[in-house]
Structure 1
Amino acid sequence: MYSYATSLQATLRYGIPISLVQGLGLDFTYGLAICSCALQLWVGRFLISNGKANGGEIITALFVDGSTLVTMQGNIEFRNVYFNYLSRPEILILSGFYQNVPARKTVALVGRNDSRKSSIIPLMERFYDLTLGEEPTLLSLSIKDNIAYGRSAIFDQIEEVAKTIHAHDFITSLEMRYETQVGRTGLTLTEEQKIKISIARVVLSNPSILLLDEVTSGLDFEAEKVVQEALDVLMLGRSTIIIARPLSLILLYI
C-alpha cells in the first residue's frame, strides 16, 4: 500500500500544474472569443453609422464559417518521434520512431500485448487522455442516427452505405429496422453489429486517412470474417494504419 500511495503522489504532482494550465488555457480561449465578438460589434457600430452596413450584416458576420480543406492527400510520416506518458516519464514508449505511410497505402503495426503499438493512433489524433477501450463507440440513439452522426445525410445515403459494408441485411431483420434504438453503448447489439455500424459511419464521412485499432478483437472466426469483408470496402483508396495482435489479420493485405 505504501508503494502504491507513493506512486499516486508522483501522478498528483504532474496533474496539478497540468490542470492549472488547461484551465487557464480554456479561460483565455473563451475570453479571446468574447473580446473578438465585442470588437466586431464595436467596429460594426461605425459601419452602420456611415451607411456601409446594416445590423443584419454585422450579426451575420459573427457566424461566418471559415474555409475548410477540400481534399487531403493522406501522406503520413513519423520522423524521429520520442514519446512518454507524463505520469511515467522514466519509461520511454517510443524512441526515435520512424514510419512513412504513402497516400492510399496500408501499413500494419503488429506486436504482442502491452507493446504500446496502440500509442501511435492517439499521437496522430493529438490527444492522450483516452477513456474508452478498443470497442466501437455508439450513442444511445437509433441505428440511423448512429451512422449519420456528425454528418448531414439523407436516408438513401445511409441505406446505401449500409448495403456497401454488408450491414443492411441485419438491420432490416430487426423489428424497427433503421429506427432500432441501440441502447447505451450499443448494449442491444452484438459485437459484430456494433463494429459494422461504426464502419458505416466512417464510410459515410469518406476520410482520406483511416486508423484501425484492434477492430476485430473479441470476435469469433465467423464474425471476424464478416467484419473483414466490410473493412475491405472501407480501406479501398485510403491511407490506412492497422493496429493488430494476430499476424493472420495482416496477412490478408499482403
Structure 2
Amino acid sequence: MKDFFKVLRRFIPPYKRHLVLSFVFNVLHSVFGSIAMLFSIPIFQVLFDKTKEVSELVAWELTQDAVVNNFYYFVTQFKNEYGIMAVMPLVGVLLLFATFLKVSFSYLASHQTVSIRNGVVKDMRMQIFAKLIALPLGFYSDEKKGDVMARATGDVTEVENSIMSSLDMLIKNPIIILVSVGFMLSISFQLTLFVFVMLPIAGWVIGKTGKSLKTKSRVSQSLMGSILGTIEETIGGLRIVKAFNAEDRMMERFEKEAEDYKRIMDKVRRRYVMAHPLSEFLGTIVVVVLVWFGSYIATSENSTFDGASFIAYLGIFYQIINPAKQFSTAFFNIQKGLAAMERIDKILLADNKILEQDGAKKVKSFRNIIEYKNVSFGYNEHRVLKNVSLSIEKGKMVALVGQSGSGKTTFVDLLPRFHDIQEGSITIDGVDIRDMRVHDLRGLMGNVNQEAILFNDTFFNNIAFGVRNASREQVEKAAKVANAHDFISASEHGYQTLVGDRGGKLSGGQRQRISIARAVLKNPDILILDEATSALDTESEKMVQEALENLMNSRTSIVIAHRLSTVRNADLICVFSEGEIVEKGSHEELLAQGGTYSKLHELQVR
C-alpha cells in the first residue's frame, strides 16, 4: 500500500478540494447510516413489547446517555398520548429521514470522487504525451514502439480501472468502518472487541492470496506491449509481408504471443476472481461466529444488551461487511494498477538528456556561421562521429556524401539537438547550441527527410503544420514553390482533401513535395535535406529537385545525398567515411584529387 499512496501523492494534490469534500460527505453518510440503524431499536422494542419508558427530561448534552434518555422520553410521551402502535410509524419516519440523508451524502461523496478519478487519469495522459514528445529520438531506438503505445494507452486504462476505481472505496470504506465501529462500541464494547479479533485474521488471509498478483500483472502488460508491437509492425510492413508470402510466418508469431498472453492472463484473472468468493466466505464465518457470541451475551443473566439492541448491532455490523469485502477487491485491483504504474513510470521517469539550461539564450535568427568543433558522438559503445570539425557559412550549400553508416545523418541530427554531442561543441554565431533555448534553436531550421512524414489530415494542415495561423494565400504560395499546387488543386476537395494515414493516398513524389512546401512555409534560416530525392523515380525526382532548388535559393543548406549529380553545384562537399570527414572541396576539386569522392563518382556515371 505504500506504493499506492506514493502514486496518490503524485497526482492527487490538484484535487485536494474534491478530496476534502468527499471526506466530509462520507463522514456524514456514515453517521446517518448508523443513526438510521439506531432508530430501529425502538421499533424492535415495540415489536418485542419491551418498550422503554422514561418520564424525566434531562439537560441536553452531546453524550450518549443524555441523547438516549431524551429520545425515549419523547417516545414515551408520544406512546402515552397516541398509543403504543403509533410509536412505530413515528420512529419509521425518523428512520426514513436518516436514510434519505445517508444516501444523499453518499451521492455527494461519489460525485466528488468522480472529479478526482477522471481528473487524475486526464493529467496522467497529458503527462505521458508531453513526455513522449519531449524525449530524445534515442529513447525510441531502445524501445519497441508497440510497448510504448501499450504503456501510454492500455496501462493508463489499467490504472484508471484499478487504482482510480478503488479510490472511492478507499476514501469511503475506512470512514464507514470507523464510524460504524464507534456506534458498535457504544452498543456493546465486549462484542465489538470480538469483531476486532476476527476481521484482521480475514484480512491477513486475503492479503496472502493477492501477494503475487502484481508480478503476474506486470508480465501480462509487457506481453500486451509485444502484441501491439507485432500488430504495428505487420500493418506498417504489410506490403512486404504479402510480397514475400509471409502471412503464415506473421500469424505464427502473433499466435505465440497471443497464447503467452492468454496463459498469464488466465493466472491473473483466476487469482482476481478469487477475491469476491474468498471475502464472502470469510465474511460469513465472521457473521456466524458473531451471531453465536452476540446471542450468548444477550441471553446472559443481568445483561443490559437486549435482543432489540443486538438486532440493531447486527444492522450496523452489516454496514461494514460490504466495505470490508470491497477492501479485498480494491487490494487485488491496486496490485494490478501498481504493476501498470511501474510501466508508465518507465516513460514518465525516463531520463531526458536534451536539457535546457537555466537562463538559456533566446535566438531569433542565424547571421554568420555554424561551426562544428572536434565533435564526437556514439550510440552506447559504438562511436559514430570521431573528432569532426566543419564550418558552414551563411547562405552556402554544404553537401554530405559517403557510404551508408558513415555518420552523415547523425552529423545533421546533432545540430537541432535531436541528440546531444558527447565531445566537442557546435556553435551558431559563436553561441554553443546547448546554451540556446531548444525551441528557438529548432525554429531556425527546416527539415526535408528521405521519408516524407505526413499526418492523417488535410493538405492545408500538413503544409501549415509548423506555422500557426497560416493564411490560405501563404499555404498556396508555398505549395507553388514546391510544385505541389497543381495536384492539390486537382484533388477532390482541394487543400481540404485528406492525405490518408502517413500520406498513403499520395505518390512518393507528391508526399515529398508536400514536405518541401511545409519547409517553404516555415521559411527557415537553415535547411536540412536528408536524402530528399533518393527514393523517387526520375520524373518525380526532377520535379522535387526543382522544388528543392527553389527552396534552397539564397538559404543556408546542409544536404545529405547519395546521388552525386544532385549536389555537384554545392559550395562545399564533405566526404564521410567511418565517422570522419576524409575529403572536402567543390565537385571539380574533389574529382581532381582522385580520392574517395572520385571513386564514388565513377561508380555512379558508369
The alignment's TM-score, normalised by the length of structure 1, stands at: 0.69
Partner of 2:384: 93
Alignment of 1:104 with 2:395, yes or no, is yes
Alignment of 1:118 with 2:412, yes or no, is no
User: RMSD of the alignment, in Å?
Assistant: 2.7
Alignment of 1:23 with 2:339, yes or no, is no
Partners of 1:21 and 1:206 lie apart in 2 by 34
The SS at the match of 1:92 is strand
Partners of 2:543 and 2:347 lie apart in 1 by 46
Q: 1:21 to 1:190 in 2, by over 3 A?
A: closer
Moved over 6 A (4+): 19-22
Q: 1:143 to 1:84 in 2, by over 3 A?
A: same
Alignment of 1:141 with 2:141, yes or no, is no
Deviations 1:92-116 (A, max 9, x none): 2111101111001010010122222
Q: Return the structure number with greater relative CO, CA threshold 8 A, min gap 6.
A: 1
**Aligned AA (2:492):** E
Per mean C-alpha deviation after superposition, the further-off stretch among 166-175 and 120-129 is 120-129
The alignment's TM-score, normalised by the length of structure 2, stands at: 0.30
Shift of 1:150: 2.7
Partners of 2:376 and 2:348 lie apart in 1 by 23
Would you say the 8 A contact 2:372–2:391 is kept in 1? yes
Residue among 503, 506, 510 paired with 1:193 = 510
Partner of 1:211: 528
Alignment of 1:181 with 2:472, yes or no, is no
Deviations 1:21-47 (A, max 9, x none): 982767xx9xxxxxxxxxxxxxxxxxx
Alignment of 1:229 with 2:516, yes or no, is no
Deviations 1:44-63 (A, max 9, x none): xxxxxxxxxxxxxxxxxxxx
Partners of 2:474 and 2:346 lie apart in 1 by 45
Partner of 1:50: none
The SS at the match of 1:161 is helix
Shift of 1:201: 0.7
Q: 1:145 to 1:20 in 2, by over 3 A?
A: closer
**Aligned AA (2:349):** G
Would you say the 8 A contact 2:450–2:531 is kept in 1? yes
Partners of 1:229 and 1:217 lie apart in 2 by 14
Task: Name the one with the larger helix percent.
Answer: 2
Unmatched tracts of structure 2, length 5 or more: 1-141, 144-344, 421-448, 571-586, 588-606
**Aligned AA (1:189):** L
Q: 1:72 to 1:250 in 2, by over 3 A?
A: same
**Aligned AA (1:246):** R
Larger Rg: 2
Q: 1:144 to 1:68 in 2, by over 3 A?
A: farther
Unmatched tracts of structure 1, length 5 or more: 1-10, 13-18, 30-65
Residue among 478, 486, 511 paired with 1:169 = 486
